[in-house]
Structure 1
Amino acid sequence: MSTDKIQHRTFIVLLIMVSLAFFALLAPFFGAVLWAGIFAIIFMPLQNRMLARMPKRPTLASLCTLLICIVVAIIPLITISLSLVHEGTTLYQRIQSGELDFGAYIDRVQEAAPRLQALLAQIGVDFSEVRTWLKSAAATASKGLARNAVNIGQLSFTFLISFGVMLYLLFFFLRDGTRLMRQIRAAIPLSDAHKQRLFKKFGEVVRATMKGNVLVALVQGALGGVIFWILGIQGALLWGALMAVLSLLPAVGAALIWAPVAAYFLLTGHIWQGVVLVAFGVGPIGLADNILRPRLVGQQTQLPDYLILVTTLGGLALIGISGFVLGPLVAALFIAVWDLSLHEFGERRPQEPTTEDL
């Protein structure tokens, strides 16, 4: 083996080892790095406008963009999170005191709909087992709320560090993002056409996923919270937030919250509340998903709904809330890379002989 080949392979091994060590160091701040990159991609058009107005002051332009990002996106998110902590604490106290008993709701359904009980018994569903399971699930959830409430103070320092790192990185991503992207593109051993296509797909998926999914989540969560508040359901803000989170799952989403509540209303004789909730859930809440999501997410990412659903669930299960962005992003890049490979190898593949050639 020649000296040049040995040096080349040694360099490749060294490059891989150093890269793995670098990513291992970034692992504790994975969320901070990821969200700094996401916010930088979303607010980069605004940063470009700022640079157009202040071409000789890139640092000041980046600070202005960062301030707008904090006011528009970060402060509202923190405010909503604090409100949810309060709602969750209140719900936990009500469960612990016995004021909120989920088993009692099953008893009311059993008393109001004996035929339903007989029908479910025929398929092997026992109301008493459902009641026991629901009470156990409520107890487990209340313990989780209590544990998280205790951990809020313990995790606040870690959260503040991650939040500070995210803002710090966001500033430099905004200021030096264009130069960093040029360097990354230059380091990738692909043709310019392939790199341009991959980076274009990367930006499209991030913007579409964030704008589309977040907008749909906010709309569905707000509509669900409002209708719950109108119907007098306690904890409307918390239920609205849960609908917003679940709306990240296409098709099913918010219905996992409002549909059981509507069924409870109908079975226990609260007909008009159930009808209103069903009409509002199928109408405004459902239309927000069926109309906004395909326009904002599907068309730009060119991903089918079932693939978005599966990859979103996989991302959420793997890395938590950040997975709703990373899941569809990986899927889109997977499709883009394989599309490039089909074009690349399809063009190089020898043509089969035709009858004219024979």
Structure 2
Amino acid sequence: MNSPTDASNDHFVKNAIEAAIKISVLALMAIWSFNIIQPFMMPVLWAIIIAVTFTPLMGKLTAMLGGRRKLACTLFTLIAVAALIMPVVLLAESSLEAVQWLAKNLKAGGLDLPPATEKVENIPVIGKKIANIWNMASTDIKEAIENTNPFAQNLATSILGSIKGGVFAILQFVISFIIAGIFMVSPDKGRAAASKVISAIAGPKGVEFTDLTTATIRGVMKGVVGVALIQAVLATIGMVAVDVPAAGLFGLAVMMCAIMQLPPILILGPVAAYVFSTNSSTAATIFLIWALIINFGDGVLKPLLMSRGVDTPMLVILLGAIGGMILSGLVGLFVGAVVLSIMYTIFMAWVNEKDAAINNKDTSSEEAAQDDAEPA
């Protein structure tokens, strides 16, 4: 006959096995679900960032269109997608024309290239190498191809890899903008859903964390991406004014440096040296001053734009953005800032709670001491 202890042990083992099976099935379903949605996580995450950033603009556009929000979101999505796709189409067309021209001339017996000009030689960093290859190709194209074959193969492989990555990134952003357009049709529903999810995890502070997340994303977009875009546009204008070759590419490099929180002078410094070698001293000096203003201008713009509407110190947001980008790439710029801002808020709430408890304890002790000191 089984004792009560044996029956209790059997019941415990049965419950433990049943719980283990349920947990295993639940874990398997969670992993399976994650693998299914993983390809869509990055586009959806970017869509959320885009929707949060442009929702205020969408409100203004909706008012301009007489309250027709769906029309405003559709126009925004079409313009954004066209802005992403059109440069790719134009680049593909020009590349195809260049390849056809090159194949036609090689088939005809060679290329009729003039020697490299002095401007090509004076391009910062890579000018002399390009000029040497150019001059070799202008005299004997076959020798140039043979001498640069290993370099050309590596370059072609790198270019193809970059093109594939660029096309994939553009396709991802196209999908993200389409999803963001859908999100922005009814932003209140999206915010309510986000608040419910965050409240289920964070409790009563869910709404506060939702507002903090929204404000942080907009602050990072304005203070990091917005400032980088302003610096890139100003740098491009300055380079075009002094006839710098490939000014658009250098402007793009300035924007990437600024987003990565590197000083734009890393790009504009060599460009300024090139400008001194090709322009008058007055024009070169003005460009150098312009470059320095662009380089140090973020120190004024970031405090104005990044912390607007956010109680979290700018340094915390900036550290989160930089650390997040190092850890997770461009999307980490936003995720890192949001995570660090929330952790800072939780930490400061805990510190303030402890400080209030200590102050209350000290006050109670002082009152008790005063009561003891009073005569009976």
SS in 2 for 1:102: coil
**AA aligned opposite 1:241:** L
Structure 2 CA distance for partners of 1:155 and 1:51, relative to 1, 3 Å: same
SS in 2 for 1:321: coil
* Partner Cα distance (2:63, 2:279) in 1: 62
**AA aligned opposite 1:325:** F
* Partner Cα distance (2:95, 2:208) in 1: 45
Does residue 76 of structure 2 align to residue 68 of structure 1? yes
**AA aligned opposite 1:248:** I
Indicate conservation of the 8 Å contact 1:88/1:145, yes or no: no
Name the count of aligned residue pairs.
314
Alignment map for 1:87-126 (pairs within 5 Å) = 102=125
Alignment map for 1:12-51 (pairs within 5 Å) = 18-19=29-30, 21-45=32-56, 50=62
Alignment map for 1:73-92 (pairs within 5 Å) = 73-79=80-86
Indicate conservation of the 8 Å contact 1:41/1:203, yes or no: yes
Structure 2 CA distance for partners of 1:85 and 1:202, relative to 1, 3 Å: farther
TM normalised by structure 2 equals 0.63
Indicate conservation of the 8 Å contact 1:44/1:174, yes or no: yes
* Partner Cα distance (2:183, 2:58) in 1: 10
* Partner Cα distance (2:242, 2:269) in 1: 14
**AA aligned opposite 2:287:** L
Cα deviation, residue 65, structure 1: 1.2
Structure 2 CA distance for partners of 1:289 and 1:204, relative to 1, 3 Å: same
Corresponding residue to 2:270 among 260, 264, 280: 260
Structure 2 CA distance for partners of 1:281 and 1:101, relative to 1, 3 Å: closer
Q: 2:291 maps to what in 1?
A: 281
Give CA-to-partner distance per residue, 1:6-57, whole Å, 9 cap, x none. 99999888767655544443333333112211122123335557499888xx
Cα deviation, residue 295, structure 1: 0.9
- Larger-Rg structure: 2
Q: 2:306 maps to what in 1?
A: 297
Unpaired stretches in structure 1, ≥5 consecutive residues: 107-139
Cα deviation, residue 179, structure 1: 2.6
Corresponding residue to 1:162 among 161, 167, 172: 172
RMSD: 4.8
* Partner Cα distance (1:274, 1:87) in 2: 33
* Partner Cα distance (1:316, 1:167) in 2: 21
Corresponding residue to 1:179 among 171, 189, 194: 189
Does residue 334 of structure 2 align to residue 311 of structure 1? no
**AA aligned opposite 1:198:** F
* Partner Cα distance (1:144, 1:270) in 2: 39
Structure 2 CA distance for partners of 1:104 and 1:301, relative to 1, 3 Å: same
Q: 1:223 maps to what in 2?
A: 234
Q: 1:334 maps to what in 2?
A: 343
Indicate conservation of the 8 Å contact 2:258/2:264, yes or no: yes
Structure 2 CA distance for partners of 1:45 and 1:10, relative to 1, 3 Å: farther
* Partner Cα distance (2:167, 2:216) in 1: 33
Unpaired stretches in structure 2, ≥5 consecutive residues: 1-11, 103-115, 130-149, 370-376
Q: 2:224 maps to what in 1?
A: 213
* Partner Cα distance (1:87, 1:327) in 2: 39
Indicate conservation of the 8 Å contact 1:219/1:288, yes or no: no
Q: 2:208 maps to what in 1?
A: 197
Cα deviation, residue 247, structure 1: 1.5
Judge which range, 177-186 or 213-222, deviates more: 177-186
* Partner Cα distance (1:13, 1:351) in 2: 48
Indicate conservation of the 8 Å contact 1:37/1:170, yes or no: yes
* Partner Cα distance (1:217, 1:87) in 2: 28
Indicate conservation of the 8 Å contact 2:44/2:179, yes or no: yes
Indicate conservation of the 8 Å contact 1:262/1:273, yes or no: no
Cα deviation, residue 200, structure 1: 0.9
Cα deviation, residue 351, structure 1: 4.5
* Partner Cα distance (1:212, 1:142) in 2: 40
Indicate conservation of the 8 Å contact 2:216/2:317, yes or no: no
* Partner Cα distance (2:312, 2:83) in 1: 30
* Partner Cα distance (2:18, 2:244) in 1: 70
* Partner Cα distance (1:104, 1:151) in 2: 24
Indicate conservation of the 8 Å contact 1:29/1:162, yes or no: no
* % identity of equivalent residues: 21
Give CA-to-partner distance per residue, 1:84-116, whole Å, 9 cap, x none. 8999999xx9xxx9966837779xxxxxxxxxx
Indicate conservation of the 8 Å contact 1:262/1:277, yes or no: yes
Structure 2 CA distance for partners of 1:155 and 1:293, relative to 1, 3 Å: closer
Judge which range, 202-211 or 14-23, deviates more: 14-23
